[in-house]
Amino acid sequence: MVTADAPEDSDALTIGRRIRQLRTGRGMTLEELASRIDRAPSQLSMFETGKREPKLTLLQAIARALGTTIDALLEGGPLDERSAMEISLERAMKGQTFQALGIAPFRIAKTVPSEALAAMLALHGEIERLRDERAATPEEARRANVELRHLMRTQDNHFAELETKAAEILAAVRHPGGPLTQRTASEIAAYLGFTLHYASDLPQTTRSVADLANGRLYLSSGVHAKGDARTAVLQALSSRILGHGEPHSYAEFLRQRVETNYLTGALLVPEAHVVPVLQDAKHRRAISIEDLRDAYSVSYETAAHRFTNLATRHLDIAVHFLKVHESGTITKAYENDDVNFPTDRLGSIEGQLCCRRWTSRVVFDVEDRFNPYYQYTDTGNGTYWCTARVEPSSEGLHSLSVGVRFDDTKWFVGRDTGNRGVSKHSVETCCRRAPVELEERWREHSWPNVRTPRTLLATLPTGSFPGVDTTDVYEFLEAHSPG
């Protein structure tokens, strides 16, 4: 404990090691220094090991005996490597990891090799990393998702600071408006100090790799069938524009992903250009996600996301968005229109089964994949209208849908649809329970073997960049570095 006479930022361990460092540097034994300050060697030893902290008057006596100043004993400069390791290990021994393992603190003798100290510190660091990894559970992910969704709802999924950042970047490269071309994406990269390089051996776990030392951005030389070369470039650059660093929690990792995708969308579909277009479409009662997609040459998912960013703030329309896997599992969701999505006990929507009668599930059974599907759905808290599409992905088919309350349907193309549905998923018998006759016939005579998603039981990806094999990344950079 720091005494009232000593500075708060100079702890007993550091002061003690600095005394020992100066003493041994002068070739002085413990007994010799103890004699000069009129103290017992055992007492001085307790000071040097940090078990006790000398008062200011005794520190002055020690400083005089060592031919130095009290400031030298209290300075915040680095200790020698051995002393620094000893202090780190002693602090570790007082921490939760050593206590949880039942390892009692021990005296670090001079005879303990420095290599042994380094090995113990490395093992301690790895145990801490594994503890953090085990803490990154699906429950943590759900909590982080819920917190982020609440934030998005409170600000109507509109991030003004990211819109401003996108406008600044587009102004810097003199983008005139309309669809952002691949050449403009390259100009943004050049403006940020990057050259683009396409490689056939990009690590499997990455979409892009930035060599910050040499200002090179590597992308795959093969674009996925539904991929967009601009999106890959802009997503990589968005992380640099926003100054993202290594995430220290899953919540931070998730927030970074949302910010990256948001800024990418704001660059592809600039707020200043698209808002007048949407306002005109509302005036004409002809809002269409397809038209937004086509006008800016983006994916349907990007157009749908971008609409949710701007609809409430600029059109005064509350909305919801769903991305649902063909298995029925909700993978992305947003709402500020009071729609009643299924949630778990933590309030998380992602990972829940979407009602079989909701537009996002019904659309999978529609043969016409060329035109959008529209449906009105009566729910326990009102009627909603949705427009939906099915698109392929690396994980299978997904439906993407945007919906509004009945009163806002008048602004949209597709409001005259005759498709109707009734969803009462808050009631057990809506779709989560089989009809009574079927259940009575088969409940005691069936045993399905569940196909458990591997992500359900696994911990979340961990490491400096979750989900990325950093060894592959570093080997790739080593092979491609111009140095």
List the single range of 25-39, 86-100, 159-173, 304-318 with lowest mean pLDDT: 86-100
Residues 301 and 324 occupy one common structural domain: no
Strand, helix or coil for residue 397:
strand
Identify the burial level of 283 via C-beta atoms within 10 angstroms of its C-beta, where 0-12 means exposed, 13-18 middle and 19 or more buried: exposed
For 146-204, give the DSSP string.
HHHHHHHHHTTT--HHHHHHHHHHHHHTT--SSSPPHHHHHHHHHHTT-EEEEETT--T
* Sequence-ordered list of residues with C-beta below 8 angstroms from that of 206, at least 6 positions apart, any chain: 468, 472, 473
pLDDT of residue 462 exceeding 90: no
Q: For residue 274, count CB atoms less than 10 angstroms from its CB and return exposed for 0-12, middle for 13-18, buried for 19 or more.
A: buried
Separation between Cα atoms, residue 40 and residue 30, nearest integer Å: 9
Residue 95's pLDDT is 77
At 300, list the tokens: 């349907």
- pLDDT recorded at residue 454: 45
Which of 30-39, 82-91, 156-165 is predicted least confidently? 82-91
Per-residue confidence at 137, pLDDT binned at 50, 70, 90? low
* For residue 223, pLDDT beyond 60: no
pLDDT digit string, tens, across residues 299-315 = 999 999 999 999 999 99
Q: What are phi and psi of 229, to 5 degrees?
A: -60, -35
% of the chain surpassing 90 pLDDT: 38
Across 87-101, 185-199, 204-218, least confident range: 87-101
Q: Where are the beta strands (DSSP E) in 317-358?
A: 320-325, 330-335
Q: In whole angstroms, how far apart are CA 350 and each of 51, 161, 262, 334? A: 52, 26, 19, 10
Is 194 a domain residue? yes
Domain at 47, CATH number: 1.10.260.40
Q: What is the CA radius of gyration of the chain?
A: 31
Residue 56 lies in a domain: yes
Number of H helices, E strands in the chain: 20, 9
CATH number of residue 356's parent domain: 3.30.450.20
In a domain, 466, yes or no: no
Tokens of 76: 């915040």
Mean pLDDT for the chain overall: 83
Burial of 242 (0-12, 13-18, 19+ CB in 10 A): middle
Instruction: Verify that 267 and 174 share a domain, yes or no.
Output: yes
- Name the residue among 52, 74, 64 with its Cα closest to residue 3: 52
Residue 201 pLDDT more than 60? Answer: yes
Choice among 45-49, 196-200, 266-270 with the minimum mean pLDDT: 45-49
C-beta of residue 255 within 8 angstroms of C-beta of residue 152: no
Q: Are residue 299 and residue 171 in the same domain, yes or no? A: yes
| CATH code of the domain in which 205 resides | 1.10.10.2910
Q: In the structure encoding, which two tokens stand for residue 64, read together?
A: 């005089």
**Closest by alpha carbon to 82, among 120, 47, 44, 117?**
117
Verify that 247 and 343 share a domain, yes or no. Answer: no
Q: Are strands 382-393 and 396-405 parallel, antiparallel or unpaired?
A: antiparallel
CA–CA separation, 466 vs 290, rounded Å? Answer: 34
Residue 145 lies in a domain: no
- Give me the residues paired with residue 401 across strands: 322, 388
Query: Tokens at residue 268, please?
Result: 């592809």
Angle at 219 between CA 214 and CA 224, to 5 degrees: 175
Asked whether residue 99 is domain-assigned, the answer is no
Say yes or no to pLDDT of 9 above 50: no
Of 51, 79, 107, which closes a domain? 79
What letters, b where the CB count within 10 A reaches 16 and e where it falls short, cover 185-217? bbbbbeeeebebbebeebbeebbbbbbeeeebb
Q: Do 341 and 293 share a structural domain?
A: no
Among 79, 111, 132, the domain-final residue is: 79
The CA–CA distances, whole Å, from 192 to 175, 210, 464, 476 equal 15, 12, 24, 22
CA dist., res. 316 & res. 396, Å (int): 35
Query: Which tokens sit at 50?
Result: 């940090």
Which residues are registered as beta bridge partners of 397?
392
Is residue 322 pLDDT above 50, yes or no? yes
Instruction: Convert the pLDDT of each residue in 419-429 to its tens digit.
Output: 999 988 766 55
| CA dist., res. 140 & res. 219, Å (int) | 31
Confirm if 178 and 296 have CB atoms less than 8 A apart.
Answer: yes
Rounded to whole angstroms, the Cα distance separating 386 from 408 reads 11
Structural domain contains residue 425? yes
pTM over 0.75: no
Residues 160 and 297 in one domain: yes
pLDDT of residue 437: 77
Looking at the structure, tell me whether residues 332 and 371 fall in a common domain.
yes
What is the structure's pLDDT at 8? 38
Domain that holds residue 165: 156-279+288-305
Hunting for tokens 């729910």 — which residue is that? 379
The residue from 59, 79, 99 where one domain ends is: 79
If asked whether residues 246 and 188 sit together in one domain, one would say: yes
Query: Can you give the pLDDT at residue 429?
Result: 58
- Alpha-carbon distances of 34 from 15, 21, 173, 469, rounded to whole Å: 16, 15, 70, 55
Q: What is the rounded average pLDDT of the residues 27-55?
A: 83
Q: Which residue has the higher pLDDT, 111 or 415?
A: 415
| Residue 456 predicted with pLDDT over 70 | no
Q: How far apart are CA 162 and CA 148, in angstroms?
A: 16
**258 and 181 fall within a common domain:** yes
- The verdict on 225 and 293 lying in the same domain is yes
Strands 330-335, 195-199: pairing kind: unpaired
pLDDT-based confidence at residue 446 (cuts at 50, 70, 90)? low
Query: Do residues 262 and 293 share a domain?
Result: yes
Q: Into how many domains does the chain fold?
A: 3
In a domain, 454, yes or no: no
CA 57 to chain centre: 51
Q: Are residues 335 and 419 in the same domain?
A: yes
Tell whether 128 is covered by a domain. no
